[in-house]
């Protein structure tokens, strides 16, 4: 409805609910994962939430549509986590070496991932 103040464009969730197939959705997620594009996932997540709000304002919302959009947002969050794992991999632990010397490196990688995921959630919230 009001795209003037929005960060990203609104998605037509009612139309997507009616026409989007599981195969097409999984191919979209796969393309996003392979490209490593977190910004695209942010825009989609924001667009889903904004589209659901617009559908509710028009009186089109239903419990089934709400659950469908929540599931798609969860798929986007899982994909974002996978991209971040690929971007910040865990170091390989060699059993011959002292495994405790890598603990600070592992904690730093996890912290970096968690911070980027937190930023993803915050920036993509509607």
Contact in structure between 25 and 63 (CB atoms under 8 Å)? no
Distance CA 64, CA 82 (A): 27
| Model confidence, pTM | 0.82
Domain boundaries, the chain: 3-124
88 phi and psi angles, rounded to 5 deg: -125, 80
The reported pLDDT for the residue numbered 3 is 52
Residues 6+ apart with CB under 8 A from 67: none
Q: What is the pLDDT of residues 83-119, one digit of tens each?
A: 999 888 877 766 666 656 667 777 888 888 999 998 8
The reported pLDDT for the residue numbered 72 is 93
């Amino acid at each position: 409805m009001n795209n003037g103040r929005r960060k990203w464009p609104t998605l037509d969730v009612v139309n997507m609910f009616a026409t989007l197939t599981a195969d097409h959705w999984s191919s979209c997620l796969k393309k996003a994962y392979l490209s490593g594009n977190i910004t695209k996932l942010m825009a989609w997540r924001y667009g889903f939430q904004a589209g659901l709000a617009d559908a509710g304002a028009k009186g089109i919302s239903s419990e089934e549509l709400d659950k469908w959009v929540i599931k798609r947002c969860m798929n986007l969050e899982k994909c974002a986590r996978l991209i971040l794992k690929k971007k910040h991999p865990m170091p390989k632990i060699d059993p011959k070496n002292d495994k405790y010397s890598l603990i600070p490196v592992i904690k730093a990688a996890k912290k970096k991932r968690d911070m980027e995921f937190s930023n993803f959630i915050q920036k993509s919230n509607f």
